[in-house]
Amino acid sequence: MSGVESLPPLLLEPKFVERIWGTADLRPWYDHVTASGKMPIGEVWLTGDECIVASGPLTGKTLGTVFAEDAEAMLGPAAAERMAGQSPLLLKVIFAKEKLSVQVHPDDRLAQKYGQPRGKTECWYALAAEPGAEVAAGLNPRVTLEEVERGVHEGTLEKSLTLLPVAAGDLVYVDAGTVHAIWPGSVLLETQQNCDLTYRLYDYGRPRELHVAKALEAIRLQTAAGKVKPIELADRTILVDREYFCVERMEIEGSRDGAGLALPEEFLEGEKSALSYLFAASGSGKISAVDGQSFAPVSLPKCGIAAVPASAPGWRIDATGVLELIRITPRWPKA
C-alpha cells in the first residue's frame, strides 16, 4: 500500500436506533435505559455511516466520512475501487422485545434496478438466547408465491415460515431473497451488507408501510438460509465464511498479535479485504502498537467495536481476563 497514509485502529461509538419493537432497558449489554414515553431501542448500530470515531487522529468524524476520504487506507486499493468510497458492512446488535416484521431483502441486482448500490445478505450470531427462542429463516418446502401473497392478506403468513430454535453461539445465515423474521428471546449480532433496504410483507397490524409488490419480486423460494455449522480451528472458530463477510470467534487470554489473527489461506475463497472489525462479545481488551510502530492505545470495552484499517501499523490486543472476540471481515464474490 505504498503512498497510502497509515491509519491506526479506530474505536467507534455505537448509535442507538429506535424501533417500535425494541427494548427499553439494554442492560447489561449497554448502559442505556429509554426514558418513559420515548420509543424503545431496537438496534445498536456499530458500524453505521453515522457512527462516530472515538479514538485517534480521526476522532469526531463519522465512519461514512472516513470511508469517503480514506477508502484506500481503510480497505486497500482493490476493495476501495470496488466500494467507491463506501463502507462495505453494517454491524448491529438487535434487541427485540416484540416480533419484527416478516420481511425480505433484495439482492444486488434487484437493489440496483431500483437505484441502490447493493442489496442485503446478512447473518445473525446469537450473543444470548432464552429457552424457546426462535427465528424464521426461509419458506417451508413447496410454498408458492401465491400462497405467500394470500398469507399476507389473510394474516396467516407465519404458517409458511421455516422456524429455527436459537441458542447462544448459533450462527444463522440469511442470504438476500430469504423471507425471514426475528422474534423475541435472543440478542443477535447482525452482520450485513451496508444497506438498509427492507421490504415488509407482514407487520402484525403496526401502522408502518408494507412493500408487498417489491417483496414478492425479491423473494426466492429456495435459499441457502439456515444455521451454519462452525469450523473449529486450533485458535478460533469460523462461524461463517461466505460472500460479503467472514465472521470468526476467538477466546483470548493474555495477548494476541494482530498478524497472528490472519485467516489461513484455504479460507480465503473470494477477494479479501484487509479491513477487519473487532467486537468484544464478552470481556474487554486494549489494542496497542507493536514492532516499533506508534499510536495511542485503544480500549475495547464489552460490546464495543474497533475498526482495524487495511493500512493499520503493527498491533496486538491484550485481554482483560478472558476476551470473547468476534472478528468480522468483508468479502466479495470472485470476479
Domain count, the chain: 2
Structural domain contains residue 233: no
Tell me: do 98 and 223 sit in the same domain.
yes
Residue with cell 421455516: 162
Q: Are residues 194 and 253 in the same domain?
A: no
Whether 20 is covered by a domain: the verdict is no
Residue 334 has pLDDT above 70, yes or no: no
Same domain (yes/no): 221, 277: no
**Contact present, 327 and 245 (Cβ < 8 Å):** no
| Least confident piece of the model among 44-53, 119-128, 284-293 | 284-293
Same domain, yes or no: 169 and 274: no
221 and 329 within one domain = no
Q: Is the pLDDT at 238 greater than 60, yes or no?
A: yes
The C-alpha angle with vertex 77 and arms to 74 and 82, in degrees rounded to 5, equals 90
Among 163, 197, 227, the domain-final residue is: 227
Closest CA to 168 of 282, 284, 331, 18: 282
Kindly indicate the confidence band of residue 335, based on its pLDDT and cuts at 50, 70 and 90: low
Residue 331: what pLDDT?
Answer: 87
Is residue 129, in this structure, part of any structural domain at all?
A: yes
Whole-number pLDDT of residue 321: 93
Are residue 223 and residue 130 in the same domain, yes or no? yes
At residue 2, does pLDDT exceed 70?
no
In a domain, 24, yes or no: no
Instruction: State whether the Cα torsion 110-112-115-116 is positive or negative.
Output: positive
Lowest mean pLDDT among 11-20, 109-118, 166-175, 265-274: 265-274
290 and 307 in a common domain: yes
Which of 227, 259, 285 marks a domain boundary? 227
Statement to judge: residues 115 and 222 lie in one domain: yes
The answer to whether position 238 is within a domain reads no
150-203 pLDDT tens trace = 999 999 999 999 999 999 999 999 999 999 999 999 999 999 999 989 999 999
Q: What is the mean pLDDT of residues 119-143?
A: 98
In a domain, 157, yes or no: yes
- Say yes or no to pLDDT of 268 above 60: no
Q: Indicate whether 80 and 95 sit together in one domain.
A: no
Tell me which of 194, 227, 260 is where a domain ends. Answer: 227
pTM above 0.85, yes or no: yes
Q: With pLDDT > 70 as the criterion, what percentage of the chain qualifies?
A: 96
pLDDT, residue 261, reads 87
Name the band, by pLDDT with cuts 50, 70 and 90, for residue 235: very high
Q: Are 11 and 299 in contact (CB under 8 A)?
A: yes
Within this chain, do residues 97 and 202 fall inside the same structural domain, yes or no?
yes
- Work out the average pLDDT over 122-144: 98
Residue 28 counted as domain residue? no
What pLDDT, on a 0 to 100 scale, did the predictor assign at position 64?
97
pLDDT digits (tens, 9 = 90+) for 302-323: 999 999 999 999 999 999 999 9
State whether 197 and 297 are in the same domain: no
200 is catalytic: yes
49-106: pLDDT as tens digits? 999 999 999 999 999 999 999 999 999 988 888 899 999 999 999 999 999 999 999 9
Q: What is the pLDDT at residue 314?
A: 93
- On whether both 256 and 181 belong to a single domain, the answer is no
**CATH code where residue 187 lies:** 2.60.120.10
List the catalytic residue out of 200, 236, 256, 316: 200
Domain of 68, in residue numbers: 1-13+51-86+244-335
The answer to the question of residue 34 being in a domain is no
